[in-house]
Structure 1
Amino acid sequence: MQLVVGKIGRAHGIKGDVSVEVRTDEPELRLGPGAVVLTDPASAGPLTVESGKVHSGRLLLRFAGVKDRNAAEALRGTILISEVDPEERPDDPEEYYDHQLIGLDVVLLDGTLVGELTEVVHLPYQDLLTVTKADGTEVLVPFVTRIVPTIDLENQRAVIDPPPGLIDAAEAEVVGGEADGAESAAEDAAGDEGDEGDA
């Protein structure tokens, strides 16, 4: 299983360091010294992380063989990809990788099927689960424990307890792929703990 874990930005300094836009909740694991990452385009890699540090809130990495600013600048825009065992789980039992969640059946507390979990949307304040219903419409469900109390990987389902109007089309029209009320529900839940998905 391959996961996108970062994107290389501009060169920093003259010794080959590059800034990296992090796209994983586990940068110390995926982008730590000694980590080997694949690249898109493939011709740029694979790359081995030689060293890393945080500077002014940005992650700076140096890759083996990248010795100067010109070589670093040539990598700009390259996507970094990590190979992950499909059975691997984050250290925190309450967290999940996106690929573990996508494809799960989404059901209510009483077992009623709502639809399929088709995407995990990572926002600064929390994550949202995109649920595609049988009629093809989509709703966004805040990924917080109060609304998504159970992720059952063994039975391939996510159990949700949505507030009124979030799922029920009679109470909230689905417009442009988002249910009316989803945004307010997300804001209401934003104070809850639970950035539970990982990239």
Structure 2
Amino acid sequence: MVKNTENRLCLGVITGAHGIRGQVRIKSFTADPEQLTAYGALSDAKGDKVFKLTVNGQSKGQLIAKIKGVNDRNAAEDLKGQELFIERSRLPAPDEEEFYHADLIGLAVETIDGEAYGTVKAVHDFGAGDILDIKLTSGKGAMLPFTKETVPTIDLDAGKLVVNPPVETEAKADEEDVSEEKQA
């Protein structure tokens, strides 16, 4: 999931050490994982600490990289959980009908009838396309496919998107409500 910290976007996270010579494993949030370093050096969320990475390959869906100044396993392990950010201005503008996930998170969600539906909590990709994770106005959650059919309108300027949720999503939420009432 790509996070937005003001004018910085999180492009990846260090998940652990790889080997004994200071290499790290990185989960990349870019469309093409190998493009993680294509726009320059990455930094921490505040931009205070810069990480100069050299990607050396991939293993089990993660990048293997060397960070300048990190020379042993202990130093690499100390970076576990470190998110890697880049200035948004260094990234290309998305094409028409394309969006950075960070731009979608936090948007108000309403139905095609204009009723409040919830808020975009996250955007996931489990391999079959993007999924919107929405916190419903009821407090429950729903996951909707991020397709033109399900999300016909996105208005970043207005801070909202319009959804046409599949009937089974609403039926499942109703079933969960009934199930919880039976348990109480």
TM-score by length of 1: 0.65
- Deviations along 1:62-117, one digit per CA (max 9) or x if unpaired, are 21122x3446544452423204438x665343332333112212122232322222
Q: Distance in 2 between matches of 1:128 and 1:95?
A: 14
Contact 1:105-1:115 at 8 Å conserved across structures:
yes
3-state DSSP class of the match of 2:84? strand
Counterpart selection for 1:142 from 145, 151, 162: 145
Q: Percent identity?
A: 26
Q: Which has the higher helix share?
A: 2
Q: Any unmatched runs of 5+ in structure 2?
A: 178-184
Structure-2 change in CA distance of 1:145 and 1:89 (3 Å) = farther
1:152 aligns with 2:155: yes
Q: Distance in 1 between matches of 2:98 and 2:63?
A: 23
3-state DSSP class of the match of 1:165? helix
Contact 1:108-1:161 at 8 Å conserved across structures:
yes
Q: Distance in 2 between matches of 1:156 and 1:34?
A: 30
Contact 1:39-1:47 at 8 Å conserved across structures:
no
1:64 aligns with 2:68: yes
- Deviations along 1:118-167, one digit per CA (max 9) or x if unpaired, are 23233232222222333222222111222112211011111112222323
Counterpart selection for 2:13 from 6, 9, 16: 6
Structure-2 change in CA distance of 1:174 and 1:131 (3 Å) = farther
Q: Distance in 1 between matches of 2:136 and 2:126?
A: 22
Amino acid at match of 1:61: A
3-state DSSP class of the match of 1:100? helix
Contact 1:137-1:174 at 8 Å conserved across structures:
no
Structure-2 change in CA distance of 1:31 and 1:80 (3 Å) = farther
